[in-house]
Amino acid sequence: MIEFDKVTKRYKGGHEAVTDLTFSMAKGEMAFLTGHSGAGKSTLLKLLANIDRPTSGQVRVAGQLLNRMSSHQIPFYRRQLGIVFQNHHLLMDKTVFDNVALPLVIEGERPRDIARRVHAALDKVGLLDKEHERPMVLSGGEQQRVGIARAVVTKPRLLLADEPTGNLDPLLSREIMNLFADFNRVGTTVLIASHDLGLIARMPFRVMTLKGGQMIRTDRTVPYDR
Amino acid sequence: MTAKNKKGAEVRQVRFSERRDAWLRHHQTLAVDSLVEMLRRPISSMLTWMVIAIALSLPALMYLFLLNVQHVVGPIESGAQLTLYLDGAKVGQSGQKLAEDLQQRPEIAATEFVSAAQGLQQFREYSGLDDVIDSLGENPLPDVIVVKPVDTTAGSVESLKIMLEGLPEVSDVQLDLIWVQRINHISALAETLVGFLSVLFSMAVLLVVGNTIRLAIESRRAEILVVKLVGGTNAFVRRPFLYMGFWFGLAGGLVAWGLIALCFYLLSEPAAELLASVGSSGELVQLGFGGVFLLLVTAILISLLGTVIAVGRHIRAIEPS
């Protein structure tokens, strides 16, 4: 599903965020991406979402080479992804329903189908009773779950999450991670950037550790050199 | 071809018609949403409408003023006439006869003989210079024939003038067209000026709408970022703003129409008096159905153009990073 081949990303000013990075993820796999802040986690996710382009090397997702994608193709590529952001990126003046419906509206689904699929997604994250609320009145955990519902409502093949439990208490974090595991169980490829090592350790998935823009370990143990 | 291929084609067709339906539905929703959005901020929206309306109604009013001037001057021009000053020594008493002879010509509509004595009498009445006229002793005025041509276009009046100058009894022919020509020149000048000002005011509308849309885009920057992150195309992001531009244009055009109607209402009485005093029986030239239509279409087009420019420049610049 994901293939990085000798990928280097150098930002203007010369800072090299990832260096000569090579790794891959199989279809249907779930993995964690960890490392100190500044290790290149965000850059890796940005490369996958085609927000940034590699300076050298190749990034492939589901067989598509992201490097050469035209700006016209990028929106259509992004529709194949579900992305969960650390700061939710919700529209505060729209209802929960409208927030979750947005990707479907963009795809031009019929209102009947939109309602059905939004309800299914909200049901999955346990927020069906909040569909008419605005995100403002929801708790941090609830907002994050709205963000997850929006990411999965299109049934994406690849689900990316950037610190999805960043500001949540351990119990809520655990719930959110289990939610991702549920999506993985039905075939979605899931990649989660997180530094919640305690939590990651208790889950049976591959852990990839970045340091200084390089993959230093990729295994199932918790690799944290304090 | 195989049955499999055929089925593939059908699936594609269904998807296309579904996409088109979705597209139409999206446009419908946006058209209503952007109107509601505009009406939800009545004060700031109204300011924009007023600026558009004022910028459009000024050149429109100037143009209407021009039309009305031409409307009033027009009938006078069509009454263009030639004044023949007769040579008293050659004509003698036969001035009246000459006037009747000229009347027979096909290119002349009417003639009027004004004898020297009548002319002096008229001058006495108009000028009130009785003492001066009395002191002259002898009547200095010649006999005069006023000729009204059938065809009042400049060329044929000119050739008629040349023909009349050739008559032995006529010492001089004066064409009473000069001031009409002057008004025509002035109105041509004014037309150019109105045209130029219309372009300037249109540019003002363009800039005002462009700026309003730019601010709207700025205020929804976060939303645009999210839409782009979940796969919205530039066209998808552009659409609500284009509708906004359309509504601003339409609303501005309607307010401009209202301003022009108000102006006509205020002017109707003094204008009627003025028209009566110059002997014109006509009414003021109004905007009319075609004029209103043109005003609204112009307002919408200029507003849309301003929006397209603003949207093209600013939406592409908002990209997730």
Q: pLDDT tens digits, residue range B97-110?
A: 888 888 888 888 88
**More confident site: A153 or B172:** A153
Residues B36 and B169 in one domain: no
Q: What is the ipTM of this complex?
A: 0.87
Answer yes or no: is B24 within a domain. no
Pinpoint the alpha helices (H) of A79-204. 96-107, 111-124, 140-152, 170-185, 197-201
pLDDT surpassing 50 at residue B297: yes
- The segment with the largest mean pLDDT, out of B34-38, B67-71, B149-153, B279-283, is B34-38
Structural domain harbouring B162:
80-176
Closest Cα of chain A to B3: distance in Å? 28
Closest Cα of chain B to A71: distance in Å? 9
Q: What does residue B177 show for φ and ψ, rounded to 5 degrees?
A: -120, -10
pTM above 0.80, yes or no: no
Res. B214 pLDDT band, cuts 50 70 90: very high
Pinpoint the alpha helices (H) of chain B. 3-40, 42-78, 88-91, 95-103, 116-127, 130-136, 154-165, 178-219, 221-229, 234-277, 288-315
pLDDT surpassing 70 at residue B179: no
Q: Of A155, A185, A212, at which residue does a domain stop?
A: A155
Q: Using CB atoms and an 8 Å cut-off, which of residues 206-235 of chain B contact chain A?
A: 222-223, 225-234
Residues B219 and B292 in one domain: yes
Residues B193 and B311 in one domain: yes
Res. B78 pLDDT band, cuts 50 70 90: low
CA dist., res. B44 & res. B41, Å (int): 6
Answer yes or no: is A85 within a domain. no
pLDDT surpassing 60 at residue B10: no
Answer yes or no: is B274 within a domain. yes
| Positions of chain A with pLDDT under 70 | 219-226
Mode of pairing for the β-strands spanning B144-149 and B82-86: antiparallel
Residues A113 and A202 in one domain: no
Please tell me the least confidently modeled range out of A143-147, B66-70, B87-91, B146-150.
Answer: B87-91
How many residues are present in chain B? Answer: 321
Residues B186 and B47 in one domain: yes
Residues B206 and B282 in one domain: yes
> Quick check: B236 contacting A, CB < 8 Å?
yes
Determine the pLDDT at residue B89: 66
Q: Of B124, B141, B176, at which residue does a domain stop?
A: B176
Coil/strand/helix, residue B22? helix
Coil/strand/helix, residue A49? coil
Select from B223, B228, B231 the Cβ nearest to the Cβ of A91: B223
**More confident site: A175 or B14:** A175
Residues A104 and A59 in one domain: no
pLDDT surpassing 70 at residue B63: yes
**Percentage of chain B modeled with pLDDT above 70:** 87
| Sign of the torsion angle spanned by Cα atoms B112, B116, B119, B125 | negative
Determine the pLDDT at residue B4: 45
Through-space distance between the first and last CA atoms of chain A, rounded to whole angstroms: 32
Which of B42, B52, B141 is closest to B88 using CA atoms?
A: B141
As a whole number, the mean pLDDT across chain B is 82
Residue numbers in B near A108 (CB within 8 A): 18-19, 22-23, 26
pLDDT surpassing 60 at residue B189: yes
CA dist., res. A138 & res. B192, Å (int): 63
Residues B231 and B215 in one domain: yes
Residues A92 and A120: beta-carbon distance below 8 Å:
no
Please tell me the least confidently modeled range out of B113-122, B261-270, B306-315.
Answer: B113-122
Select from B222, B230, B233 the Cβ nearest to the Cβ of A103: B230
CB atoms within 10 A of CB A36: 14
What's the whole-number mean pLDDT along residues B166-170? 82
What does DSSP assign to residue A129? Answer: G
Residues B58 and B116 in one domain: no
Residues A141 and A178 in one domain: no
Q: Of A155, A174, A202, at which residue does a domain stop?
A: A155
Residues A75 and A169 in one domain: yes
Q: Of B146, B176, B206, at which residue does a domain stop?
A: B176
Closest residue in B to A91 (Cα–Cα): B223
Residues B167 and B302 in one domain: no
Residues B170 and B282 in one domain: no
Which of B14, B16, B230 is the mutation pick for testing A, counting most A CBs within 10 A?
A: B230
Answer yes or no: is B320 within a domain. no
Which of A52, A72, A105 is the mutation pick for testing B, counting most B CBs within 10 A?
A: A105
Determine the pLDDT at residue B99: 82
Answer yes or no: is A226 within a domain. no
Determine the pLDDT at residue B14: 54
What's the whole-number mean pLDDT along residues B201-205? 92
Answer yes or no: is B8 within a domain. no
Residue numbers in B near A105 (CB within 8 A): 26
Residues B306 and B213: beta-carbon distance below 8 Å:
yes
CA dihedral A115, A119, A122, A123 (to 10 degrees): -170
pLDDT surpassing 80 at residue B79: no
Residues B204 and B304 in one domain: yes
Residue numbers in A near B229 (CB within 8 A): 49, 51, 78, 83, 85, 89
CATH number at residue A214: 3.40.50.300
Total domains, chain A:
2
Which of A121, A35, A109 is closest to B231 using CA atoms?
A: A109
Residues A69 and A106 in one domain: no
Q: Using CB atoms and an 8 Å cut-off, which of residues 104-133 of chain A contact chain B?
A: 105-111
Res. B169 pLDDT band, cuts 50 70 90: confident
Q: Which two tokens stand for residue B63?
A: 């143009």
Q: Of A134, A155, A176, at which residue does a domain stop?
A: A155
pLDDT surpassing 80 at residue B74: no
Structural domain harbouring A31:
1-80+159-221
Residues B186 and B71 in one domain: yes
Residues B186 and B304 in one domain: yes
Coil/strand/helix, residue B139? coil
